Amino acid sequence: MEKMASNWFWEYVTPNFIQQFSISDILYSGKSDYQDIQVLESPGFGRCLILDGKIQCSTFDEFIYHEALVHPAMITHPNPENVFIAGGGEGATLREVLAHKTVKNAIMVDLDEKVVDLCKEYLPTLSNGAFDDPRTELINDDAMKYLNETKEKFDVVIIDLPEPLEEGPAYLLYTQEFYKDLLTKLTPNGLMCLQAGCTSMIIVYGYTAVIKTLSTAFSAVAPYQAEIPAFGGTWGFAIASSSLDPHDLSVEDVDKRIAERIQKPLRFYDGITHRGIFSIPKYLRGQIAAETKVITKDNPLFTY
């Protein structure tokens, strides 16, 4: 029997639940003006980015998260040319956006310049040259402030932010006020997508509240989920629009658009996967239907 590893990263999930994985090296540990940052090496998950004690991605399975976040929305849109990314400091969301031949401009606004710089240094495979693409505009600023001030309209807006921690910088971008403002920044067929938290049965309250809040701002909201091993289980996402619904696409529609638009092989997402991730289980549909909490500035959502 192999000897158990002696060094472990553990993540506090709830007062009754933690998750752990072994680590072989701490490549970086420090603080920015906004959050604690670590880059760890794990025998099981490869290099991992940790923000405020929460794992954000691992090189082992980041392709699942980033393909799930980006491609369903991009493929649902008939011709996404102008894309906005809030957050996404690793550059992997940007990488997946730029894989679409239709994209002419991709504006990425991430508050924490230090995260971007550390990811360029320690996790360069995640961006894979995306920061140097001529279609990219990288801005280190507050995404809400930028959207409030810009006169641009976007075909797709992708919200790739950390969880809404009480001490963290992102919680206001999970509110009804933000979603209603965001709707005015979309083109007529525009849509937004976001990561919306854990959908495991032990901690689903945040996800259902996000879906409920989105439904107060957008007429079409499509929740979905994917299994992400480094996150300890299923993780929730959503697409929101005033006109487009990803459920309307057949397996053949998705595969045809992928073949026409995407300039690289995908490892997670295709037409069959599209149908699967939007077929969320009965218990989760029931919890979403029963949710009453609407997240606002005065009634925010905080996760652990």
State the catalytic residues. Answer: 160
97, 74 in Cβ contact below 8 A?
Answer: yes
Q: Which of 142, 159, 162, 141 is CA-nearest to residue 52? A: 162
Separation between Cα atoms, residue 258 and residue 225, nearest integer Å: 20
Q: Which of 161, 285, 273, 277 is CA-nearest to residue 211? A: 285
Which residues sit opposite 22 in a β-bridge? 8
Query: How many Cα atoms within 13 Å fall on the side-chain side of residue 164?
Result: 22
What the block records as the tokens of 216 is: 């107060």
What the block records as the tokens of 278 is: 């939007």
Which residues sit opposite 156 in a β-bridge? 83, 191
DSSP states along 235-255 = EEEEEEESS--GGG--HHHHH
Strand 82-87 to 154-160 pairing: parallel
Contacts of 236 (CB under 8 A, 6+ apart): 195, 196, 197, 198, 199, 207, 210, 211, 223, 224, 225
Q: What is the DSSP letter of 5?
A: P
Q: What share of the chain is helix, strand, coil (3-state, %, to 5)?
A: 35, 30, 35
Q: How many helices (H) and strands (E) does the chain have?
A: 10, 13
Q: Which of 14, 54, 35 is CA-nearest to residue 163? A: 54
Output the CA angle 275-276-281, nearest 5 degrees: 120
